[in-house]
Chains A and B, each alone.
Chain A
Amino acid sequence: MLNNKGRPTQPTVDSNVDDSLETFTGNKGLELETPLIFEQGVPGRIGVDMADPKPVKSRLGGLERKESVGLPDLSEPQVLRHFVRLSRQNYAIDAGFYPLGSCTMKHNPRINEKVARLAGLGDLHPMQPTSTVQGALELIDDLAHWLKTITGMPAVTMSPAAGAHGELCGVMAIRAAHEANGEVRTRILVPESAHGTNPATAALCGYKVEAVPARADGRMDLDAFAEKLGPDVAGVMLTNPNTCGLFETDVKRIADLVHEIGGYFYCDGANLNAILGRVRPGDLGVDAMHINLHKTFSTPHGGGGPGAGPVVFSEGLAAFAPVPYVIQGENGFELVEQVEGDAAQSFGRMKGFHGQMGMFIRALAYMQSHGADGLRQIAEDAVLNANYIRVSLDDKLHSSFAGICMHEALFDDSTLKGTGVTTLDLAKAMIDEGFHPMTMYFPLVVHGAMLIEPTESESRQTLDQFIGAMRYLLDKATAGETDYFLSAPHFSPRRRLDETGAARNPVLRWIPDESADANEKTSVSAAS
């Protein structure tokens, strides 16, 4: 039906449009495809303008590269368009709700990006004389002060590059401390709900990992823990709040017990966001804890990094911290870069140079923007949001553990039992609703786990929309609309991908010519 006063307002064809209609280009309106960068090159193009090299007598010692590298040549607008198109195939926190449990996907303020790029901060060379970087060292020292104050711990080491790297740093300090004591300890206790990095870290430090079961209320079983303690136990690695989103109520008892046998308490600080300004880990008996600046202090996740994982230490472990660190000397700030003198007990070095400065700048900007008052409110709002989700869904989903949760709500998949819909299928349907799915199948101790962490960044309106969508989907699943879920997502840049094919026959890079064949082959096996 045509509007006779102007353009048509309704489709001229039957409204039963088949959405699998193909276009000539493969694009669909604003959904723009882009081939691999290697498939777009035209020899002779270049995307960077630079001076011609002056002819000189080569000092390469006859080792000049003779073979071509194999890189494609492209112009600047081509490259720009390629990556803009790619970016549009990504979900991101700036675009929508990203309740990925244990990942703390909070708003990343842009002031952080701005100050990280200031001339005199973002462009400093790590080997400049310290006399020319006093502002940078002051910044590191200031951030260290904030971290020590927030956690109530006397010392901090800044260089670890991420959470797992921080764990390694903490457990290495524990091992170094035992060795300095002349003690050989062989076991480290880790709750069975722990993140996989914990046992991987303990193993890298030469410790045998022993899992401690959880109680019915989701906390570590104190009796089982006490039973496993002995003079050969180096320490415990405990996440608090734990991976089930619960505060370990016996935390002080756990600390006392491990200290009684001469062990140390490593706290995985991944979930620090929930307790900022409400409790200091130092008051709970913690000896070492890493802090994920990319979770709690809003440095962007960047598609998987970079992060930063400073580690706070108790007095007993501080001497074993790795180099480098900043001290205040007679002529201003100085860097201790070698294992000698006052740093003679240091267990070594974790990383080139001095740490993730770019992340330090962003995290400090975030802290200053929030202050002591704002930091406390972060924890309060994050915990309130998580509990709001918990109570708004617990008639439809089964909460794994009763009672108040901290910053994330954990459900199991019992509601879906018998529907033929799995947690994974539900997650894929959430994609169609415009949300990033929650964390699935973690922690491992809960069947078909769904771990939802809203963070403090989200408004009640967003939470209500999410809750509404979840309830709608759960009703649909229990009403028997299984196929809808099995074929989800329907509206994403790609449908479900053949992960089995990818793992059986790994294609990890583009290869000229052959790549087309490889592509064909996988299509065939996927279709068969």
Chain B
Amino acid sequence: MSYKFTEDHEWVLLEGEVATIGISDYAQGQLGDVVYVEVPTIGDEITKGDELAVVESVKAASEVYSPVSGEIIDVNSELEGAPTKVNEDAMDSGWFAKIKVSNSSDLDDLMDEAAYKAFLQGLDE
């Protein structure tokens, strides 16, 4: 069980057939103070690449795209009242949604932690 990352800075943590999705620490830093998070509806089916959530900071709004396909089985409703969690703890309690993955091979082309680190270094240069 380890974090996987997309080039759009979402992270996925797969436990069994349930994937937890959030945005990376780098992404929250780029966004700045998060003021609102729009989470999806439990029970909805989502396809890899679809819009899963929207994160708003004062001056920007970013779509969070689902790195996997499946059914949304849980959302982090605490974010509605406490969007700061995304800034404070992006990789853990700042998660957005849990998805029952319909095809675990969706994760195959994602980066592991080391590859993501290298990817970020490339961005800085």
Contact = CB atoms under 8 A, between A and B. Distances in A.
Query: Is the A/B pair a real complex?
Result: yes
Nearest to B36: A503
Interface size range of chain B in the complex: under 10
Contacts of B57: 500
Interface residues of A, number: 5
B33 to A, nearest CB: 4
Contacts of A504: 33, 35-36, 83-84
Interface string B65-102: 00000000000000000011000000000000000000
B83 to A, nearest CB: 7
Contacts of A500: 33, 35, 57-58
Main secondary structure of the interface of A (DSSP, over half): helix
Interface in A212-264: none
Contacts of B35: 500, 503-504
Interface in B36-70: 36, 56-59
Contacts of A441: 59
B90 to A, nearest CB: 17
B84 to A, nearest CB: 8
Contacts of B83: 504
Interface in B1-53: 33, 35-36
B82 to A, nearest CB: 9
A64 interface: no
A514 interface: no
A39 interface: no
Nearest to A441: B59
A466 to B, nearest CB: 26
B54 to A, nearest CB: 14
Nearest to B33: A500
Contacts of B58: 499-500, 503
A13 to B, nearest CB: 41
The residue in B35, B36, B56, B57 that gathers the most chain A C-beta atoms within 10 A of its C-beta is B35
Interface string A487-500: 00000000000011
Contacts of B56: 503
A441 B32 CA distance: 16
Interface of B: 33, 35-36, 56-59, 83-84
14 contacts: A499-B58, A500-B33, A500-B35, A500-B57, A500-B58, A503-B35, A503-B36, A503-B56, A503-B58, A504-B33, A504-B35, A504-B36, A504-B83, A504-B84
